[in-house]
Amino acid sequence: MGQAREVMDRLTDVITHPDLKTLGELYAEDAVAVTPDGGEIRGRDGIVAYWRQMTDAIPDGTYESLHAYEVGDTAIDEGFFSGRNTGPIQLPTGETLPPTQKEIKIRGVDLATVKDGKIVEYRLYFDEMDFLEQLGLLPPS
């Protein structure tokens, strides 16, 4: 197992056992993250704030790995993130929604490129509409 795989595994652990201090230590100060719901996020502090919103909304989140790869300095994971929405949901507009108390299970893929033991580039892909639908936040069709 290489450095990228080790760092990605630690990232998964701190997201499912929320520890934002340790999470911040995994990212380089000038890291860049791209997410479906947060867009491009520049800098460690912004990335930690993004994860804070997710771990506040779903504090009991679990991760089920389907595939885990490492190619050079990049780790790639595919799996399911699951949990109950028991905390407030922060919208991109700054508004906050109360918890829905609904269970979610989202399939996603994330990639982390690691240099000198820190994530310098992170990409997360998941179906945001599926996420919102599971939370009951989409209008009926």
pLDDT tens, position by position, 102-136: 999 999 999 999 999 999 999 999 999 999 999 99
| Cβ contact 85:70 at 8 Å | no
Q: Which amino acid makes up residue 20?
A: L
Q: Tell me 135's DSSP state.
A: T
What is the signed CA dihedral for 19, 24, 26, 29, rounded to 10 degrees?
180
Instruction: Give me the tens of pLDDT residue by residue for the chain, a chain 141 residues long.
Output: 799 999 999 999 999 998 999 999 999 999 999 999 889 999 999 999 999 999 999 999 999 999 999 999 999 999 999 999 999 998 778 889 999 999 999 999 999 999 999 999 999 999 999 999 999 988 887
